[in-house]
Chains A and B, each alone.
Chain A
């Protein structure tokens, strides 16, 4: 069984990214379960999705310490998911900072050492800079698909399977941008 967590901020497209992954896994004949942990996601709160696929899946929640991949679309959100990592996990993090309300109103500080701390303490940390890819794709909204492209380098699915899944979840109008974003995401992982 594979366990993947997507984490991010409401509006970043975490749920859509998880839907694409579920679609890929389902089409490949795996049993799939997904669980969303969000509180009023549309209002800018934290969002995460647990996706599990394999021959047999019981719990829709990934137990702590059991994630194979944690894909975080925002630096701070990564720090809420550290409990899910084990020594074999891979952590993919988008180098982007979105200030939460307590920081916006000056009540708290956004920690300035997250990337450094992760690199020091967790060897399989891959911090990606998606800014250039998003510029080339022509839309910042495709961040979720860029990150999916990063993840795809680690999972055992064909590029075509991913493309089909993206087609099934994204409307015709935005498809070309998103397919491009997916491939640009793949290129971010060496």
Chain B
């Protein structure tokens, strides 16, 4: 696993990941954390290198993971792991930048940048390949510095590993385990430096500015109705998750993509018919296509009687208006087959599937009440284009 510390490395490491994968015949992951994803920087561009398509050689022992094959493959993986461990120490992805040997800091990802900025005189072992970790390099580095520190975001992954090698190090004793790091947090922890306070405290309360659903957003009509009905709402991932916040406050559970329908069925199984008669699952069109379909099959197959609202705004809105299989256009903008959600849920065994326009508020409410009351699984496709979609 490679762990870039800035956009330039993110680009270089991605290229390198393919080379390592080819060389060692192992998958390689490039780890992108919040700050790497949300930052920009200069990169060097190069001419595109065309790589010819390799032959696909049939090799079931490698590509078909029957238990007998898997046992053989496991040996291969362990052998490659040892080779990769050497590579991790030798390739330069992990490297020592010697400074003053009083303090040595092992650090990775964006934390490396914070360390370089706030501790310019210290020695640094920069981890760019975070798995396998470079035992040899870690031992060499640790043996030559007086005090060893590990500065990493969130869990003490590298720190625990270093300690498992029998090496003494300071990490989470001074580096917070929660939240993103910042340069000043590292400065405070490593150098006991605090930011000078130059202004008095402001004498009023500063209201927050949480994001909200847009004015005229089709989801707002749905949440107004659900709020009025005071239903229990099992939600999902998308703009409509904002239905959990004021002024709606009308989403009561939410986990991962597609979980709304599974939770909805779970609530009914645990709490009975009364629950199903006062609740709905809400899920967006693209989330539904991504991982809600198995939930619908589960609902029907396991004799649930709940109602699922598919909030079909004809686009993947929250992430920046990407197309999806329900829009009839590919991500590249080419026309393609348009998935028919109504036909789809009917094929899964849902007999009650209704399409409704949320702008017709009275009809929306009538349909939701009717479907929730019905003692069989139902799907209401609430269909209206996102207000921001051209």
Contacts and interface: CB of A to CB of B under 8 A. Distances in A.
Q: Do A and B bind each other?
A: yes
Interface of A: 9-10, 22, 26, 31-46, 57-61, 63-65, 76-77, 79-80, 82-83, 85-87, 100-103, 105, 107-111, 113, 117, 121-122
B116, B184, B196 — most chain A CB neighbours (10 Å): B184
A100 B210 contact: yes
A85 B247 contact: no
Contacts of A85: 198-199
A31 B8 CA distance: 11
B246 A105 contact: yes
Contact of B242 (A43, A64, A87, A113): A43
Given A45-B209, A103-B207, A63 B195 contact: yes
A3 to B, nearest CB: 11
B202 A117 contact: yes
Interface of B: 6-7, 35, 38-42, 110, 113-114, 116-118, 182-184, 187, 195-196, 198-200, 202-214, 239, 242, 245-247, 318, 320, 388
A79 B202 contact: yes
A70 B205 CA distance: 21
B210 A45 contact: yes
B184 A65 contact: yes
B154 to A, nearest CB: 16
Nearest to B196: A65
A60 B196 CA distance: 21
A76 B206 CA distance: 7
A37 B198 contact: no
B209, B210, B320 — most chain A CB neighbours (10 Å): B209
Contact of B39 (A38, A60, A109): A60
24 contacts: A9-B209, A10-B211, A22-B40, A26-B42, A32-B41, A38-B38, A43-B211, A43-B214, A45-B212, A59-B113, A59-B183, A61-B35, A61-B182, A61-B183, A63-B118, A63-B187, A64-B182, A64-B195, A100-B207, A102-B207, A102-B208, A109-B205, A111-B204, A111-B205
A64 B197 CA distance: 10
A58 B39 contact: no
A187 B212 CA distance: 36
A45 B39 CA distance: 19
A108 B211 contact: no
Nearest to B245: A101
A113 B203 CA distance: 9
Given A36-B38, A60-B110, A76-B206, A42 B388 contact: yes
Contacts of A107: 246
Contacts of A60: 6, 35, 39-41, 110, 113
Nearest to A56: B116
Given A35-B39, A43-B239, A65-B184, A101 B199 contact: no
Given A60-B110, A80-B206, 13 more contacts: A33-B7, A35-B39, A39-B211, A43-B211, A44-B209, A58-B114, A63-B118, A63-B183, A79-B202, A100-B210, A102-B207, A108-B205, A117-B203
Given A43-B242, A60-B39, A107-B246, A121 B207 contact: no
Contact of B41 (A33, A43, A82, A109): A33
Contacts of A37: 38
A83 B202 CA distance: 11
B273 to A, nearest CB: 36
Contacts of A33: 6-7, 39-41
A102 B209 CA distance: 7
A45 B320 CA distance: 15
Nearest to B5: A58
Contact of A58 (B116, B211, B318): B116
B41, B113, B200, B318 — most chain A CB neighbours (10 Å): B41
Contact of A63 (B38, B184, B202, B206): B184
